[in-house]
A and B are shown apart, each in its own frame.
Chain A
Amino acid sequence: MVHVVMATGFLLILIGFYGALTNRNLLRMIVAFTVADTGVNVVIVSVGHLHGRTAPILDRAVAAADAVQRIIDPVPQALVLTAIVIGVGVTALMLAYAWRIYRQHRTLDIARLTALKG
């Protein structure tokens, strides 16, 4: 099961990369990146998963004393949270950029933004 999830994650990453490299529209590229980001998050979660264990929340269900044996690794989960936040930030920034580029150049075609080169 873990491997299926992980494979799905990598597949999402590859789809995202493919989309970002083949779509010339800025908005489509941004969407592709969010797909790839999701893939990364899925991969991270799958890495932290341990078979037959429960969520890393210490409450009545899991006592602190035997938590080490009963919960999955909490660190990847924390990483995913951070990664999601950062991903949202970057996506927002890219969208703002796309809007600004469109306002300036009246185009969303990446291949036409080549004023700087060489």
Chain B
Amino acid sequence: MVINALHILATGLGAAFLTGLLGEKRNGLAFMITLGALAFMSAVSAGWLVLFAATGAHPMDIQTAGTPPPFAIALRMGLAEAALLTLINLAGLFAAMHMGETLLARGRRAMAVLLVMVMALCGLVLTRDLFNLFVFFELIVIATGGLVLLSDDERAVSAGFKYLIVSQFISVLLLVGIVFGYHATGTLNIDGMAEQGSGAFVLAFFLILIAVAAELKPFPANGWALDIYESAHPGFAALFSAAAASAALFAFDKVLAIGGAEWLPVATGIGIVSFVAGNLLALPQTNDRRLLGYSSIAQSGLILVAIGQQDILGEHYLFIAGGLLLSHAVAKAGLYWLSGFVAGRELTDWAALRQRPLLVLAFVTGIAMLSGLPPFPGFYAKWELVHLLANEGRLALLGWILFGALVEAGYLFRWFGYAIKRESSQTIDCPPDRVIPVVAALLAGWALGFAWGELSGRSNLLLVLPLLFALAFLLLEWAPAWLKNILAIGGLSFWFLQTWQDYDPLRLIFLVIFTLGGAIIFLASFHAHGRRVGFYPSAMTMFAGMVLLLQATDSFGFFAAWELLTIGSYFLILRGKESEPHALSYIVFSLGGAFLILAGFAIASAVSPAPTFALGQLAMLEAPVAPWVFLLLAIGFMTKTAAIGLHIWLPGAHAEAETDVSPMVSGVLLKAGLYGLFMLLMSMGRQSLYGVDLVNMMLWIGAITALLGNLMAIFQEDAKRLLAYSSIGQMGYALFGLALMNHLGWLMALMFVINHYVYKSMLFLSVGGVAKRTGTRAMYQMGGLITLMPLSFIATLIGIIAMSGVPPLSGFGGRWIFYNAIMDADTRLPMVLIFLSGPIAFLYLFRLIHTIFLGQLKDEHRRIKEAPFSIVLPQMIYVAILMGVAIFPGLVLRRVDAYISQFLPEGALNWEGLTITSQYGWWNPVAIMIVVACIFGLIFGWLLFVNRKAQKVKQFNIVFSAERPYRPETTHFAWNFFAPYRKAMGFLVQPFVTRFWGAITDLLHTAGDLGRRLYNGNGQIYAFHFLVFVVVVFAFKAGL
């Protein structure tokens, strides 16, 4: 049973009067009445929402004064209205709760104003009468003017006045517009006007529309709003952003209906400019609430774009606009309420939140909702919006939306990085009246995510087992790390056992690496003590993303999985001590790549009528669409594999990560990008754009990446950075192999997938173990550790033998296939580069052994022990695997070889017994192993023999030759070890790419900074901005 919606307005108004009737001293009672009224209003709205959602009933018109329009005001209640009212009233209720202390101190008048504000917002949503709309707008203005003063910030007074100035201009335009609209149509009813169309009163309609648009705080007519956001009480700022902006958007949508389709581009134009400009201007902000204000402006702009595109959104309109709107409202309210916990106003002050994991979760939920990440409504909405835009060929708009979204994600995640990494001395106390609103927003966010997943008609991500498993770790944060570790390993193994039969050999290899490979690395995680809060949800989200990636059959599933693994890995990387800037550059590059993938899928699906786009359909695309799709997807995937030019995030991200995280993100995660490339090349094959063979381009990129990655690795002093750069080179090899587009090239790329996982995980673990014991990652500060950490030494030795591709280990097999593959291909020049990178790889690998394990032991390292057992154990497993793969490469490769033959039948290998034959030669791993073992044994024995009487030189022996053994680092022989090479080839490793991306970032910041100067704080100038905005929009409309 639902209650007449008029009671919502009546309750708000009545309660406001009632508080006025109470005595001055009865503040407690007045507050109870306020909360009660708001709760009742929320309940009534929620009742309607349930009714409409459950029955799908048509909207109902509510007449006042017993008369139909145009003779009396009519209200309308429908699904959208009910949802908005629920949002507004709940926001009002929790805002009142959040501001409880202030309201009680200021007394009943403040409460009455709050009630009027919420009531007026409800009225704005409900009314179908234009003049009534004006009245509610003015009530909101007056109430806002009152509520702004609740702030402790003295500057709020001037902000409120600036708001009143601009609102005076707005109301004059609105009134003039309304009265001429009435004059032309004889009605004030919006639907009545819409029936007649705005043709007869274009100018008046423009005034109405522009006045309502100004309430959305569009760029640049929004200086006043930013001042309010910055200075108002956060409880009110939440209401102002979540409820007032939402109601104004809805009012705009109503008014726009009068003008009809010809006015839609105006909405789109205002929206996209506000979205991009709002985000750019937010970039240089340091004040948290002002930044949130800019983000609100941007988000309103995005919703405005959706409103302006309603002609192509069709039945998805409510889903998209509603998803964006609710996502924004809930997230923004939650974030403003959160800001109430933080004492300082700098973004870095949010580090204080770290004391309370619950608040951090609320923070990250808010940020993910604003950035449109899964599993929140914004993600589904963005997906549909982008697809529909691509369908209609509105690609420029699509590009601007994705650009703005990337900038937004950039500053939001930079902020999150501050919160996680910076220091704060503030202690956070959590009174329940402040915690409840935040928790409510948190829960609402997840609930909306679930609801939108259900409504999407695609898979609901919150019902997908791997993600649920990952999220379940959020509830286990109280448990000790070892328990969670067992669960994580169990979960990965379970998933493997459950699903391995579903996959073809190629995917199976990736599955093994993603699940069992991950599980082996988790063995190393046993070294961690305590609860390790935040580690397991992040790691398991990443693994969930990866296994879902393999499972995905359509573009939506693929993209959702891609975003999940990106987010999860971002949180993982951020855990490293010094990783704040690197995690940021990782997430920005990754999301940029993800957006390209999104755009690629959207453009691809534009040519297929089906609502879901199966990945296999990529194969059926034709020019001119196909090469563009290929290009977008390829760049997206190459961002993940850190191809040269897109690689600058990798070294820091991988090197600064924790000991067990580095192998996860290097050994395992990079393979996701390779999987994407495999999938792409398998389905789309060769593509050319303007006569350029794109696959050939990839070949070159692969070769150059291999060369430069290796070259940069040899000049590193930091062991983990060295390994990270080496990953860039290795991924270059794999990319090169894939782009060869022949049978052996792919086989070799796959061999790299396996090998790189094994030896890079192993090396990261052993180097990580060493770094853990020595307390440094700089190689020249180590030395002589061979006797103290023998197992780590063995792992490193085996690792570099395998990696450098010398016999007898699996790296050699990789090389052998590789060289055969090259013989098959027709491109010779990039091959020279690839050949060149082989010996370079040996140079840096050699340093790992030479500088860390050989040479003189440093004084301070004399008491060092072997790395913890849990870190050594996986390394030993890897040694065993490497040996196994080296002797029996056929175990794995044979089946894949057969599988690849489906796509590229030419040049398959011949597997007979232990011998593998290609058209150029043969390879018998066992024989090679025996030969190498014999030669090694002979030489080793001989060396032992000739050195049997040698005197062991101890460290202090050389003191006798007048040399101090302990020297400053810069004169250490291992520092700048390859200086001569640097002289010769250093020009190749100048940080051109880093400078390029740095310049782009600076450019964006400068643009944002220049834009900010518009807002010089003068209220008159803000009013002037508004008038300029009116003129510009008018000129834009006239020019259409």
Contacts and interface: CB of A to CB of B under 8 A. Distances in A.
B135 A89 contact: no
Interface string B182-202: 110000100000000000000
B145 A118 contact: no
Interface stretch (B163-171, B485-493, B799-807): B163-171
B142 interface: yes
B818 to A, nearest CB: 56
Nearest to B137: A86
A16 B176 CA distance: 14
B138 A94 contact: no
Which of B172, B176, B226, B290 counts the most A-chain CB atoms under 10 A from its CB? Answer: B172
Contacts of B155: 115-116
A44 B175 contact: yes
Interface string A79-118: 1001100100110011001101100110000110111111
A90 B227 contact: no
B116 to A, nearest CB: 11
Which of A26, A90, A100 counts the most B-chain CB atoms under 10 A from its CB? Answer: A90
A111 to B, nearest CB: 5
Contacts of B183: 47-48
A115 B157 CA distance: 11
Interface in B140-159: 141-142, 145-146, 149, 154-155, 157-159
Contacts of A114: 158, 1016-1018
A29 interface: yes
B862 to A, nearest CB: 57
A76 B182 contact: yes
Contacts of A116: 155, 158-159, 226-227, 230-231, 1017
Contacts, number: 123
B157 A101 contact: yes
A106 to B, nearest CB: 13
A75 B1013 CA distance: 45
A94 B1020 contact: no
Given A47-B179, A97-B164, A113-B161, A118 B1015 contact: yes
Given A94-B164, A98-B161, A101-B157, A117 B179 contact: no
A115 B149 CA distance: 16
Contact of A89 (B131, B142, B172, B180): B142
A26 B161 contact: yes
Interface residues of A, number: 41
A111 B157 contact: no
Which of A37, A75, A82, A105 counts the most B-chain CB atoms under 10 A from its CB? Answer: A75
B-side interface mostly: helix
Given A36-B172, A37-B172, A117-B1015, A94 B161 contact: yes
Contact of B158 (A21, A101, A118): A101
Interface in B821-839: none
Nearest to A37: B172
Interface string B742-781: 0000000000000000000000000000000000000000
A16 B1020 CA distance: 13
Nearest to A86: B138
A45 B1024 CA distance: 28
A40 interface: yes
A113 B1019 contact: yes
B1012 interface: yes
B366 interface: no
B1016 A117 contact: yes
22 contacts: A16-B172, A17-B172, A24-B1020, A36-B168, A37-B172, A39-B172, A40-B176, A47-B182, A47-B183, A79-B131, A86-B138, A86-B171, A90-B138, A94-B161, A97-B145, A100-B149, A105-B158, A110-B165, A110-B1020, A113-B1017, A116-B158, A118-B1012
Interface of B: 131, 135, 138, 141-142, 145-146, 149, 154-155, 157-162, 164-165, 167-169, 171-172, 175-176, 178-180, 182-183, 188, 223, 226-227, 230-231, 290, 1012-1013, 1015-1020, 1023-1024, 1027
CB-CB nearest 7 A-B residue pairs = A114-B1017, A117-B1017, A113-B158, A116-B227, A118-B1012, A86-B138, A115-B155
